[in-house]
Amino acid sequence: MTNFSPSIEAALDAVAGHLSQARRALFITGAGISADSGLPTYRGVGGLYNSEATDEGLHIEEALSGDVFAVRPDITWKYLIQIEENCRGAKPNAAHRAIACLDQHLDRVMVFTQNVDGLHRAAGSCEIIEIHGNLQELMCTSCTHEEAAVDFRGREIPPLCPVCGAVLRPKVVLFGESLPEDELDRFIEALQEGFDIVFSIGTSNVFPYITQPVVFAAGSGIPTVEINPARTQLSEVVDYYLPLGAAEAMTAILDRLGIEIDPV
């Protein structure tokens, strides 16, 4: 077991204590949870898109926007492929597997993730809301054709529908597009039913729909935990801030509960 500072040890002990009493846990996750799988966090240290502009002179949010996709799908696809290449071959790490493992020990474990890498799904978590979609599923922009895409190797840019010839797109939410209402409704319903502990792991916490559930839980006396090497606007709000990597923190928490994480 890793030796941490006394303050972090105490926080880990307290979080494990709360989790041992919980029956329903919510895990809100961002790109940071996949860092130990070798994926870039897109922003910040080791980020994929830290430069000011893309080759086309656009901010990455513009290149990956619904507006640009509508007129220049080749530009959007260029950067979608870069993201997919960075995800290709990645495996769930100990943090993904730890959360999935908790399905066997709690009545309900919900994962609400911003990630499109599919790693929570690959780890075996039972109840997942991929609020930004999944890169591994494609849909036609014109007809009803859909297909799975293990990876994007060898595809033309932009890829075209084999049925009608229109442009294909991944089932992801591009910048400027609305979040899927059915998934949001499912999340709101789960929040109304309630959780006994709420974790925020590896997210920069810049979107209200990511931060508000944590703020609400903290204000309602529900134990809240943030796991992130970098501080965010939630760090002063949560009950326990753990400045650790996701895999390291989740392994330490489950160690304290005597729960063995399933191997790769």
Encode pLDDT of 122-180 as tens digits.
Answer: 999 999 999 999 988 999 999 999 999 888 888 888 999 999 999 999 999 999 999 99
Distance of CA 7 to the CA centre of its chain: 27
Summarised one tens digit per residue, pLDDT across range 74-130 is 999 998 988 888 888 889 999 999 999 999 999 999 999 999 889 999 999 999 999
Rounded to an integer, the average pLDDT of 184-198 is 96
Q: Tell me, yes or no, if the pTM score tops 0.95.
A: no
Summarised one tens digit per residue, pLDDT across range 217-245 is 999 999 999 999 999 999 999 999 999 99
Fold of 6-39+93-132+179-256: Rossmann fold (3.40.50)
**pLDDT band per the 50, 70, 90 thresholds, residue 1:** low
Given 18, 96, 120, 132, the catalytic residue: 132
Q: How many helices (H) and strands (E) does the chain have?
A: 9, 9
Q: Residues spanned by CATH 3.30.1600.10 within the chain?
A: 60-88+138-172
251 Rama class: left (phi>0) / alpha (psi -120 to 50) / beta: alpha
Q: Residues spanned by CATH 3.40.50.1220 within the chain?
A: 6-39+93-132+179-256
In this prediction, residue 94 carries a pLDDT of 97
- End-to-end CA, the chain: 19
Rounded to an integer, the average pLDDT of 30-53 is 68
Give the number of C-alpha atoms closer than 13 A to the C-alpha of residue 238, restricted to the C-beta side: 26
* Residue 48 CB-density burial (10 A; 0-12 exposed, 13-18 middle, 19+ buried): middle
132 is a catalytic site residue: yes
What is the dotted CATH code of the domain comprising 60-88+138-172?
A: 3.30.1600.10
| pLDDT(51) > 90 | no
* Residue among 247, 244, 249 at smallest CA distance from 34: 247
In this prediction, residue 172 carries a pLDDT of 93
**pLDDT band per the 50, 70, 90 thresholds, residue 47:** very low
Rounded to an integer, the average pLDDT of 41-56 is 56
Is the peptide bond between 159 and the residue preceding it cis, with omega within 30 degrees of 0?
A: no
